[in-house]
Structure 1
Amino acid sequence: MQSNSQASVIISTYNQPEWLALVLYSYSIQTENNFEIIIADDGSDERTKAVIDKCSSETELKITHVWHEDNGFQKTKILNKAIVASDSDYLIFTDGDCIARQDFVETHLRLRRPNCALSGGYFKLVASISNAITKTIISTQKCFDKDWLIAEGQPKSFKFNKLTKSKSKANILNKITPTKATFDGMNVSCFKSDILAVNGFDERMQYGGEDREVGERMMNNGVKFIQVRYSTICVHLHHERPYKNEEARALNEQIRKETKQKKVTYTSFGIKKE
Structure 2
Amino acid sequence: MLDIVIEARKASLAPGMDVRRILPFRQRRMVGPFIFMDHAGPVDVQPPLVHSLDVLPHPHIGLSTVSYLFGGQVTHRDSLGVEQIILPGEVNWMTAGSGIAHSERFEDPATLAGGNLEMIQTWVALPEKDEEAAPAFDNYKPNQLPIFTDSGVWMRLIAGDAYGLKNGVKTHSPLFYLHVVLETGARFGLPKEHSERGLYLAKGTLEVAGRRYTAGQMLVFTKGADPMLLALEPTTLMLLGGEPLGERFIWWNFVSSRKERIEQAKSDWQEGRIVLPPNDNLEFVPLPEDKSKPAGSPAPQALS
Same fold (TM over 0.5): no
Higher strand share: 2
